[in-house]
Structure 1
Amino acid sequence: MFTIRNAKLLDGRIVDVGIEGEKIVCLGECEDNDELIDAENKLVIPPYFNMHFHLDSAFTKAVNKSGTLWEGIRIWQDIRNKISEDEVVRNALTAVKLFVAYGTLWIRSHVDITERSFKLLRAINRVKDESRDIADIQITAFPQDGIFTEKGNDELLRKALENGADNVGLIPHNEITREDGFKSIKYAFELAKEYNKDVDGHIDETDDPNSRYLEVLAKETINNEWYGRVTAGHVTAMHSWDSAYRFRILPYVARAGITVVPNPLINVVLQGRFDGYPKRRGMAPIKEMLYANVNVTLGHDCIMDPWYPLGIGNMLQVLFMAIHLDQMMGINELVSSINLITFNGAKAWRVKNYGIEVGNEANLLVTDADDVIDLIRFMWPPRFVIRKGKVIAKEGKYVLFKGKWERIKG
């Protein structure tokens, strides 16, 4: 048992947090214990979620000259044929350790299952298993090339679900025809119901205002009563939809319980590439979605791969970009924006016992920030990352991996 002294919670209270085993057992004035952490009246918060990422492509460090999504996909098709399973594991583990060091304990990764040997899926299954003591990882079976663009891709998606994938992926805007896009959504729900899986798609990741698969996703969610079990990643076309259409469709998205996951670092890099000036920002409008009661959480998407040349695994960077792109600069907006990488992610993942409350699992970040605004301003890593009652990372530099402390290099 150990105690965190002088912890400032999100509601402003200064409390002690008593931890025994994997649980929070005291909140307020707690007894002394052999192990103490003095938070020094700094912010102590629940850990972060990264609800959209690609572990299989991390650190492949390709050069995308046009900076477009489509060139990135072509480059990736070449890389995935050449990269070894062990290389994928090594790169992905580096990414996981970086995320953990910066306070992220839940990572949902899309894995390209149109690589037909399944070496990518095997690799990320290995990473999921090797990382089980420091992070929760979900794998979405992601048909990068589309479900119906090539014969047999639909069966690859089914096979991936039988080989360790947690969620059904899709990419309707990358199908050859609009009709195949509709068909791909229906097929994803057929598999989801057959295997009792969540649906987690790349949806409308384009500047094309005519790409409107989100409405189909909402209708199929409602028809199949898959409420709260569907995630729509990117939806960058929403930035190009007219306001009247967004006003009409977002209530249905909220009714379906669909979570939308913008990926601001990568969205702003890839979208608007065919524009002159002014350029579209290409990120789904967060404030508008929140106003419509849509659950919104964020993803890091990429680190040093064919789509993005930067990234250190800090979800505060993602949040920082999001609030700038959507001009969420009012005091209340800034303070509540932390929900985009915490409580809203927990809702999408359907994590129970999340948050700093007695009886909940002891997952906490001890930060150096006075409040949420300072947390976002400085983007410092946590002093301590605590998972299930155990310190697993310190100072953004050290991670306890397989029982040994490692200094992280990304």
Structure 2
Amino acid sequence: MAVDLLIQGGTLPDGRVVDIAIAGEKIVEVAPKITAEAGEVIEAGGRLVSLPFVDPHFHMDATLSYGTPRINKSGTLLEGIGLWGELRAVLTPDEVVARALEYCNIAVSKGILAIRSHVDVTDPRLAGVEGLLEVREKVKDVIDLQLVAFPQDGWYRSPGAEENLIRALDMGVDVVGGIPHFERTMTDGAASVRAACELAADRGLMVDLHCDESDDPMSRHIETLAAETLRCGLQGRVAGSHLTSMHSMDNYYVAKLLPLIAEAGVSAIPNPLINITLQGRMESYPKRRGMTRVPEMLEQGIRVGFGQDCMMDPWYPLGTADMLDVAFMGLHVAQMTSPAQMARCFGLVTQSSAGILGLDWGIEAGKVASLVLLDAQSPVEAIRTRATRLAVISRGKVVSRTRAPKPELATGWA
């Protein structure tokens, strides 16, 4: 057998040590020992070979815009939304493309090969939509980029937002978005959830709503989202992003809510870096945690994927496009520190998030050959050290290589 690429001696996340043979864009064999002529051989040396990292929640139209037109001095969600409104009004498609492509290069070097990005449709010019559709086309051979039509200022609250959202879908945006907790009333929020699910059902699309990104325990649009998912027959095609109000909800109510979410097949996308930064801003001490109930969701069989959300934009001044940073923060905030739980968090930025995006990825024969070789022996070590991505393979081609850093010590110790 002749293959294009052969990875020898890689450790899979489940602990198996295998060779992986790749021909064209596909994995053709995974076995303990493969003898084949190969165009290129990568000696993994027992290091971790995993699926690529997946970011299921990002805002690529805003990324790398930090400081433009000014800095978010309060650090709050609401000031960030206001600041973004100022930038959005003067945004051009070319600016969006330039910043997004710069970000995509960083993301690929960190092993991110699938991204779901929300794109604001509030501005009738749809400059962000135009720019990110161009980016999606430019990066399609390397990155699976999904776009969500996102009415940042509200489906009903912002005049013309619903019409703009439909225009964006007509232009080729992939997913129906919304932000029910930002509508003027709970009633309008619930109505926006129903409208989003009906629109998605009519068009055969997925739904991903910014849902209950609040410390208010009475922000309960996730309940409506689950119910509408069932009514519209959208099981497995719907995600609720953030869901931070759940950390403040009554335990009795949550005990009823989580089985409903599970029954509806609604996925949850917490964003640990940003949720822990933006929530709890109106409190003194003690401060509540700004992330939804991840361990409890996993126990109910709810699919969870950690998102990055932001990088150097009106809401967040930091970020490195590293999903291992996201998993690291997530396991701390969720207090998931047993060996099994930490390994599970690695899955929340790889396999589980791929499933949310509808990607049929796996390390087995017949699957697309998109993989990452990390300078670590296990998923937990990868998270602990934020392991170097030694090689990133997209559809059978090596698209990034990084050498592991080697410190030069001069301590003189024996």
Give the TM-score normalised by the residue count of structure 1: 0.95
Q: Is the 8 A contact 1:4 1:16 kept in 2?
A: yes
d(CA) in 2 for partners of 1:381 and 1:221? Answer: 40
2:407 match: none
d(CA) in 1 for partners of 2:337 and 2:37? Answer: 41
1:188 paired residue among 185, 196, 208: 196
d(CA) in 2 for partners of 1:144 and 1:318? Answer: 23
2:329 match: 321
1:379 match: 386
Q: Where do residues 229-244 of structure 1 align in structure 2 (5 Å cutoff)?
A: 229-244=237-252
Q: In structure 1, what residue type is equivalent to 2:218?
A: N
Question: Shift of residue 336 of structure 1?
Answer: 2.0
1:47 paired residue among 47, 52, 58: 52
d(CA) in 2 for partners of 1:2 and 1:154? Answer: 48
2:410 match: none
**Which string of whole-angstrom CA distances, capped at 9 and with x for unpartnered residues, describes residues 279-326 of structure 1?**
112101110110111110011000001100000100000000000001
1:388 match: 395
d(CA) in 1 for partners of 2:322 and 2:18? Answer: 27
d(CA) in 1 for partners of 2:345 and 2:101? Answer: 29
1:309 paired residue among 317, 321, 326: 317
Percent identity, please.
43
Gaps of 5+ in 1: 398-410
Task: Give 3-state SS (helix, strand or coil) of 1:296's partner.
Answer: coil
1:161 paired residue among 151, 155, 169: 169
Task: Give 3-state SS (helix, strand or coil) of 1:49's partner.
Answer: strand
Question: Shift of residue 396 of structure 1?
Answer: 8.2
**Which string of whole-angstrom CA distances, capped at 9 and with x for unpartnered residues, describes residues 43-99 of structure 1?**
111111100000000011031111111110000000111232211111111111111
Deviates more, 1:382-391 or 1:19-28: 19-28
d(CA) in 2 for partners of 1:308 and 1:230? Answer: 26
Q: Is the 8 A contact 1:102 1:396 kept in 2?
A: no
2:362 match: 355
Q: Is the 8 A contact 2:181 2:213 kept in 1?
A: yes
Q: In structure 2, what residue type is equivalent to 1:58?
A: T
Give the TM-score normalised by the residue count of structure 2: 0.94
**Which string of whole-angstrom CA distances, capped at 9 and with x for unpartnered residues, describes residues 116-151 of structure 1?**
101110001011111112101000000000011133
Question: Shift of residue 195 of structure 1?
Answer: 1.6
Gaps of 5+ in 2: 405-414
d(CA) in 2 for partners of 1:34 and 1:176? Answer: 60
1:115 match: 123
Backbone CA RMSD of aligned residues: 1.2
Q: Is the 8 A contact 1:16 1:27 kept in 2?
A: yes
Q: Is the 8 A contact 2:142 2:395 kept in 1?
A: no
> How many residues are paired up?
396
2:28 match: 25
Query: In the alignment, is residue 197 of structure 1 matched against residue 205 of structure 2?
Result: yes
1:298 paired residue among 306, 319, 333: 306
Deviates more, 1:228-237 or 1:84-93: 84-93
